[in-house]
Amino acid sequence: MTLVKFNPEKKNSALLPGFNDIFESVLGDTFFSERRIASVPAVNISESAEAYQIELAAPGLKKDDFKVSVERDMLSISTQSADESSSEGKIYNRREYSFSAFSRSFALPESADIERIQASYTDGVLKLTLPKKEEAKAVSRQIEIS
Q: DSSP secondary structure string, 82-119?
A: EE----TT---S----EEEEEEEEEEPPTTB-GGG-EE
d(CA 126, CA 146): 50
pLDDT at residue 112 greater than cutoff 70: yes
Mean pLDDT confidence for 24-38: 49
Q: Is 62 exposed, middle or buried (0-12, 13-18, 19+ CB in 10 A)?
A: exposed
Quote the CA–CA distance of 115 and 110 in Å, as a whole number.
12
Q: What is the mean predicted confidence (pLDDT) over 87-93?
A: 70
- CATH number for the domain formed by residue range(s) 41-87+95-134: 2.60.40.790
What is the model's pLDDT at position 31?
47
How many Å apart are CA 51 and CA 137, to the nearest integer?
A: 8
Spatial distance between the Cα atoms of 121 and 143, rounded to a whole number of angstroms:
42
Q: How far is residue 85's CA from residue 98's CA, in Å, rounded to a whole number?
A: 9
Domain ranges of the chain: 1-38, 41-87+95-134
pTM passes above 0.85: no
Please give the pLDDT value at position 37.
46
